[in-house]
Structure formats: C-alpha cells, structure tokens
Amino acid sequence: MLEPDALPDAVFHPDGGRLVPTELARGPWSPHAQHGGPPAALLARAVESFEPGPAAHVARMTVELLRPVPLSPLEITTRMVRPGKKVQLVEASVHADGTEVVRATALRLREQPLELPADALGSGDRPPAGEPPERALIRDYPVSFGDAVEFRFVRGGPGGALGPGTCWIRLAVPLVAGEVPSPLQRVMAAADFGNGVSSPLGWERYTYVNPDLTVALHREAVGEWIGLDATTWPDPAGVAVADTALYDERGRVGRAVQTLLLDTR
C-alpha cells in the first residue's frame, strides 16, 4: 500500500462527459477490473440527479454487474422507465469502450411528512464503534478501492473470527474529484463490502464474487460513516447470499443483499 499522500485524490476524475477511474477504483479479483462499489456509487450519482422532482427518494436500487468493469474511461446513460409523481423507475448504465458493463434500476418515491407513533420508528440502536483491522486487508495489488475507504471493525474482518461481520465504513476521498459524496453514494459504495465483511469460509482459500447488489433504504443516511452488519449464507453448490443490515449514526437505514459465486482461489 502507498502512503496516503501518494494515493490519488479521488476515485474518479471527470473528463468532459466521461469519468476516468484512478487506481482507487480497482477491485480484489483482477488488477484490470474495478471493485463493485465505485460503479454502484456512480450509478447512484446518476439516478438521484436525473430529472429531479417530487419522487426524489431512492428507496431501492439494484445494480447488475454485467461484465468486469475495466479501469478505463466510463460513460453513463440514464433514462426514465416509469414516470410518475409518486413513484418513478429510473434506469442507468455504465459503458466502457461502447459496451454496457453495469446496469442499475432505481425506484424513486415521493416523500410526505406524516405523524407516526414514536414506538413505530425503532429504537435507534446501532452497532458500537469499531476498531481498525487487526491486520492489513488481504490484497494482491498495491492500490485498490480498499485504500479509498476507512474501516472500523466491530467483529470479523482480517484477523477476526470467521462468520458474520460488523463494520463501519467511510469514504476517505471523494468519489468524483471536486464533489462531496451524497448520502446515497456513500451507502452504495459501502454496501458492496457486505460479502467481504462477512466471511464464513475465509479469504485465503475462497473467493466471493457478487454479480449484483440490491439496496433498500427507508430514509436518507446521516453522516459519513455507514455501518454494515453482514451474514453470508454459503451452499456446497458454489452459491451464496450476503445479507447486510445498514446503519448510520442515528440507527437503521436499510438493507443490502448480494448473490455470490463461490470458488477457490
């Protein structure tokens, strides 16, 4: 890992209508492909800014990783699939060299103030503050998306026990240079770590590649830190599901689910 002052200043740099990834976008599975978090966050950036209106709250977002996302300039297209004043469905795609590599659908709902009983809003419980990993994250490459975020583990993680994991994650650099990440962008960037926070089999022998990510949010996240309380359910058929409860400094904000392809290294 490089010293902090030698790392890129953002995950992406804008270049006209394109977004150019830095090494901080790199994922754990190939030196030439991105982690799922950066393109998921870019798609969040696209769908929340597209044709803003009364249906502005992104309540559910599903990201399909159609192909490995290369470390090359990206273009994003966005379209309205279902217009409406209360409910909208927005679709956004990431293209690399003219090929669609990631697609997302986002369900946007209108927000309307309501008086609700206090006991219907939950207790506000959240995981306790964590600590930095006991040892460095397992890495095959000197710089990756793991260097763009800070981790505070409550349980599990590198050097921790196998099984469910709990961790707080914060974007340490801007997603796009010159911009402050939105709450949704922070959530999407962190949520893709669920399959890594929860490790029932161990990173040294197995891989957990997720071809998708679905996040459901009942409110906007508050603050820079996003909490993940994750459990991965593996099957001998080589398939698994990572189920992650999402938190912020006020309590629960939603849930993330990833389907996983299990394999040996």
Q: Please tell me whether residue 5 adopts helix, strand or coil conformation.
A: helix
Q: What share of the chain is helix, strand, coil (3-state, %, to 5)?
A: 15, 45, 45
Percent of the chain with pLDDT over 90: 73
Q: Please tell me whether residue 205 adopts helix, strand or coil conformation.
A: coil
What are the C-alpha distances in Å from 135 to residues 50, 141, 160, 193?
41, 16, 9, 17
**What is the spatial distance between Cα 243 and Cα 141, in angstroms, rounded to a whole number?**
27
The tokens 């964590």 sit on which residue? 130
Q: Where would I find the beta strands (DSSP E) of 16-98?
A: 18-21, 57-65, 74-82, 87-96
Q: Please tell me whether residue 47 adopts helix, strand or coil conformation.
A: helix
Which structure tokens are listed for 98?
A: 């003219």
Which structure tokens are listed for 95?
A: 């293209």
Those residues whose C-beta lies under 8 Å from the C-beta of residue 121, and which sit 6 or more positions away, are none
Q: Does 72 have pLDDT greater than 50?
A: yes
Please report the pLDDT score of residue 4 as a whole number. Answer: 55
Whether the full predicted model's pTM is greater than 0.75, yes or no, is yes
| pLDDT tens by residue, 6-20 | 789 999 999 999 999
**What is the spatial distance between Cα 170 and Cα 224, in angstroms, rounded to a whole number?**
6
**What is the spatial distance between Cα 122 and Cα 130, in angstroms, rounded to a whole number?**
22
| pLDDT tens by residue, 197-219 | 998 887 778 888 999 999 999 99
Q: For the residues 115-122, what does the mean pLDDT come to?
A: 76
| 40 — pLDDT class (breaks 50, 70, 90) | very high
